[in-house]
């Protein structure tokens, strides 16, 4: 009798455990099938090329714990398939790096480029110093386009700079010349001011660097950042204008000095001293921090008529195109955002031309926005097309082997920029092309 009771109690306790295990197994199989389906759909759509820094997962080391997927702020970049982590939505990845930090067995490394698409990255050490002693690179030029990462790199680079021999010891030399007032340059400038270094920050345009070029109203995704002289700043999701207003007020409150409309022309190093020539003068400095963007010179179409005044290479204000017939060229986020922003203006007729078969380099939210604009008739999308000629009143394109003419008042080319590799090599900086490597 006691044996029967013991078996009964054992069954009573074991049943819930067995049910839980069965439910977990079923849930994992279901999630695995869902992730596999999403991965296959993305492969068919050509959405497999990450925009920049992204995780490379070692399947042999991965234990399938899923902490990487949970840690990702974007939520759906990584998923488990057959008990191993996979990069499911590659184009959603924006390089947070939280997945690599969360992995308990170091199965994830962060890499640039892929086997098919190389990315030029200037070589820097852990302190963001190049092979040229005293020359530092932080932010977008070094491959870190995410605002939070760029801010942190600028802060860390300045910390390394202030420890260099001679820095902060006085004399006629600048301790550091900072080129660029985007997120990394702004952060470094705050640090230089905090430590009372002799510094000069130059910016060829306006405060914010690349951020200032974003279309009006663009939502900037970021996370809490640590700014010198300010401390921890909690910025989650805010507009371009709000972010620039915050930077402007911070600059005024802290008293930092930034020289706008001053462009760097050359940097040379002799006997350990940098000579920096700009459009306003010449400076001698112990160190130089390049906090410039990767865009460099805008990439041109090299077609007849591109010299017409109606052709521009970035969108400033969608309102100026109200009532016009506009062609946007490109397949990245800037092109999609420009096309949709202009399409929302009354009376516009907007076409978006891209040479590939899908917008694989753009974020999902921008792709969805394009799809919605296309469904409502606000936007005409011409994939697998290229501009052949630009005329005063129209544009000629090759669309899947067929010539088409579009009535046109304005052309916006958002085809990215040419990395200033030549400038870096003139300075002696080594540049490496990454094909899916760290």
Domain annotation for the chain: domains and CATH numbers? 2-111 (3.30.70.20), 119-296+419-434 (3.50.50.60), 298-417 (3.50.50.60)
Q: What is the pLDDT of residues 70-96, one digit of tens each?
A: 888 766 788 888 889 888 888 777 666
Q: Where are the beta strands (DSSP E) in 304-408?
A: 311-312, 325-329, 349-354, 379-383, 385-390, 394-399, 402-407
Q: What are phi and psi of 312, to 5 degrees?
A: -130, 170
Q: What is the pLDDT of residues 286-321, one digit of tens each?
A: 999 999 876 656 788 999 999 999 999 888 788 999
Q: What are phi and psi of 421, to 5 degrees?
A: -60, -40
Rg (CA), the chain: 26
Cα separations in angstroms, 32 against 26, 84, 131, 177, 291: 10, 9, 45, 52, 42
Flag whether pLDDT at 46 surpasses 70.
no
Tell how strand 264-270 and strand 273-278 pair up.
antiparallel
pLDDT value at residue 299: 81
pLDDT value at residue 12: 64
Rounded distance between C-alpha atoms, residue 220 and residue 211, angstroms = 9
Claim: this prediction has a pTM higher than 0.75:
no
Q: What is the pLDDT of residues 351-375, one digit of tens each?
A: 999 999 888 778 778 889 999 999 9
pLDDT value at residue 122: 80
pLDDT value at residue 119: 65
pLDDT value at residue 162: 95
Flag whether pLDDT at 212 surpasses 60.
yes
Q: Where are the beta strands (DSSP E) in 183-319?
A: 199-203, 219-221, 225-227, 231-233, 237-239, 258-260, 264-270, 273-278, 282-290, 297-298, 311-312
């Amino acid at each position: 009798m006691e044996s029967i009771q013991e078996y009964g109690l054992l069954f009573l306790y074991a049943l819930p455990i067995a049910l839980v295990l069965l439910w977990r197994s079923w849930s994992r199989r279901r999630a695995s099938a869902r992730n596999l389906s999403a991965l296959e759909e993305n492969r068919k759509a050509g959405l497999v090329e990450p925009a920049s820094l992204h995780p490379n997962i070692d399947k042999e080391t991965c234990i399938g714990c899923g902490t990487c997927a949970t840690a990702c702020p974007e939520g759906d970049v990584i998923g488990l398939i057959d008990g191993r982590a996979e990069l499911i939505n590659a184009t959603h990845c924006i390089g947070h790096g939280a997945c690599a930090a969360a992995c308990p067995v170091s199965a994830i490394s962060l890499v640039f480029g892929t086997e098919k698409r190389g990315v030029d990255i200037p070589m820097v050490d852990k302190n963001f110093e190049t092979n040229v002693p005293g020359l530092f690179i932080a932010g977008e030029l070094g491959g870190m386009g995410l605002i939070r990462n760029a801010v942190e790199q600028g802060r860390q680079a300045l910390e390394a700079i202030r420890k260099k021999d001679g820095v902060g010891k006085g004399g006629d030399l600048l301790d550091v010349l900072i080129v660029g007032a985007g997120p990394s340059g702004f952060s470094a400038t705050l640090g230089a001011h905090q430590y009372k270094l002799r510094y000069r920050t130059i910016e060829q345009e306006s405060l914010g660097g690349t951020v200032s070029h974003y279309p009006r109203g663009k939502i900037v995704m970021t996370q809490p950042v640590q700014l010198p002289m300010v401390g921890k700043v909690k910025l989650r999701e805010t507009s371009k204008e709000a972010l620039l207003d915050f930077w402007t007020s911070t600059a005024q409150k802290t008293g930092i000095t930034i020289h706008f409309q001053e462009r760097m022309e050359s940097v040379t190093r002799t006997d350990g001293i940098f000579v920096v020539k700009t459009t306003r003068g010449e400076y001698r400095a112990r160190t130089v921090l390049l906090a410039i963007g990767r865009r460099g010179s805008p990439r041109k179409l090299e077609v007849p008529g591109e010299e017409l005044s109606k052709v521009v290479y970035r969108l400033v204000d969608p309102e100026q195109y109200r009532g016009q017939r506009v062609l946007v060229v490109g397949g990245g986020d800037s092109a999609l955002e420009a096309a949709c922003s202009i399409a929302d203006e009354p009376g516009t007729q907007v076409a978006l031309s891209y040479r590939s078969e899908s917008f694989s380099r753009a974020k999902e939210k921008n792709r969805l926005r394009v799809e919605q604009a296309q469904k409502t008739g606000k936007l005409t999308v011409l994939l697998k097309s290229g501009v052949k000629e630009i005329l005063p009143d129209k544009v000629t394109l090759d669309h899947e082997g067929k010539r088409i003419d579009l009535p046109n008042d304005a052309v916006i080319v958002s085809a990215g920029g040419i990395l200033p590799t030549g400038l870096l090599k003139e300075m002696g900086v080594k540049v490496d092309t990454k094909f899916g490597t760290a």
